[in-house]
Chains A and B, each alone.
Chain A
Amino acid sequence: MDLRIFFTPVPTGETTYLGWLLAGLRTTIALSLASWVLALALGTMLGIFRTVPNRPLRAFAGAYVEVFRNVPLLAQLFIWYFVVPEIVPGGHWFKSIDPFVQAFLTSMACLALFTAARVCEQVRAGIEALPRGQKSAGLALGLTLPQTYRFVLLPMAARLIVPPLTSEMVNIFKNSAVCSTIGLLELAAQGRQLVDYTAHAYESFFAVTVLYLLVNAVILVVMRAVESRTRVPGYLGSRK
């Protein structure tokens, strides 16, 4: 193990190898957070669809979850990257833009749509975990169904599903490594590049693993704080 390698300048000289890894980490974080926000919004909407008394909406959300959960992430990514620009009219324009932007946007859309299916199931579980009386009480008070969701069901469900959403958040960071396959230089790809340039495989492996552990630790600490703030009194901390 020779840790001096990280402070050696890269061949082009503008940064060190550590700089490469940190640039990769930045991309990983930017990509994961952007995808997470989109996944949360879309997943919440789909999760609501799965519980409303409207057959077409329920069927649509159900089909969405079924499709996005039963096709491997790598296959989905390749479809967004190789297939969609070919078959969608005007898709060729997308292939002419900056390769980094193209890989980033594709990865973001892919991770967001993939994770939305998982978020959807958590949101649904959260809503279904609430006692039936909550919805009835909301309606009986004269709230419309959307108002019942907005003011009664969703605020409660959101607080119940913080722990499972935390693990989905960890997952989106890990899944972002798959995007190295379409040439996005995120953390795992930078680690690989470091090996190609320096042949210091063990050091690179060690550094990348440590950075992923660090990201994980930060998420867990932040989310634990969120969890303890939002925990619903009377429930046993978790959803059960």
Chain B
Amino acid sequence: MYEFDWSSIPGALPFLWQGMKLSLAITAVAVAAGMVWGTVLAVLRLSPVAPLSFFAASYVSLFRSVPLVMVLLWFFLIVPQLLRDLLHLSHAADFRVASAMVAFALFEAAYYSEIMRAGIQSVSKGQRSAALALGMTPLQAMLLVVLPQAFRNMLPLLLTQAIILFQDTSLVYVSTLAEFFGAAYLVGNRDGRLVELLLFASAVYFVLCSAASGLVRVLRGRVAV
């Protein structure tokens, strides 16, 4: 029978907290940048200009067809190389955090774009017509009238996607960058206590994510227009 020994966790908490802060930072940057870029993609996708709409559609379907873990792996392999070559930086320069943030933002934008597209389409046509009739330019109508409503309609889905993104930050593990999951793995490996550390990390994810999902459920009832 396996003897559990949880004694290596208390001492490792500061290191794990560092990891959690990195996970949250990656999540925050990726959610913010991904939402902005995703909204731009959604607007392009719905634009009457064929090349723009084609570009957005291809971008979204490309990123939605490949696994995130592969995108991350390539970002860690190729992008630092590319940046060093382009900017003539020393090999010591570490781009892994920036690479992770950029990779997540670009990847998640494809998913946010689909949510925002549905959101924009959920706003009734009369809203845009009314805005145009009031003398707004199409851009103003989009920014001031359509998008705020689309955003509000889609808020629960956008937040659910953020929770999924937070879970996906564990995949940064492939870069040996110590975000929360990677940190737990490192500690577990070092102390020969992988079983306890993996269970602990999973429990933390479970508590955080189910609490956040619960909040989203409450919110869903409140923001409905």
Contacts and interface: CB of A to CB of B under 8 A. Distances in A.
Nearest to A192: B73
Interface residues of B, number: 34
Interface string A8-38: 0000000000000000000000000000000
Given A72-B205, A75-B170, A82 B69 contact: no
B194 interface: yes
A212 B66 contact: yes
A61 to B, nearest CB: 16
A83 B194 contact: yes
B151 interface: no
A103 interface: no
Nearest to A186: B67
Interface in B98-134: none
A165 to B, nearest CB: 16
Interface residues of A, number: 38
A191 interface: yes
- Which of B74, B168, B195, B210 gathers most chain A CB within 10 Å? B74
B67 A82 contact: no
A75 B201 contact: yes
A79 interface: yes
A75 B194 contact: no
B195 A82 contact: yes
A70 B77 contact: no
B62 interface: yes
Contacts, number: 98
A71 B202 contact: yes
B195 A87 contact: yes
Contacts of A216: 65
A180 B66 contact: no
A67 B66 contact: no
A195 B69 contact: no
B198 A212 contact: no
A76 B73 contact: no
A191 B78 CA distance: 13
B66 A74 contact: no
A202 B78 contact: yes
B198 A79 contact: yes
Contacts of B78: 201-202, 205
A219 to B, nearest CB: 10
Contact of B171 (A71, A74, A212): A74
Interface stretch (A49-57, A104-112, A138-146, A170-178): A170-178
Contacts of A73: 167, 170
| Minimum-distance CB pairs A-B, first 8 | A177-B67, A70-B209, A72-B167, A174-B67, A72-B170, A216-B65, A87-B2, A75-B202
Given A70-B213, A87-B2, A178-B171, 13 more contacts: A70-B205, A72-B205, A73-B167, A78-B198, A82-B195, A170-B64, A173-B67, A174-B66, A175-B67, A181-B69, A188-B67, A201-B78, A212-B65
Interface of A: 66-67, 69-76, 78-79, 82-83, 86-87, 89, 170, 173-178, 180-181, 188, 191-192, 195, 201-202, 205, 208-209, 212-213, 216
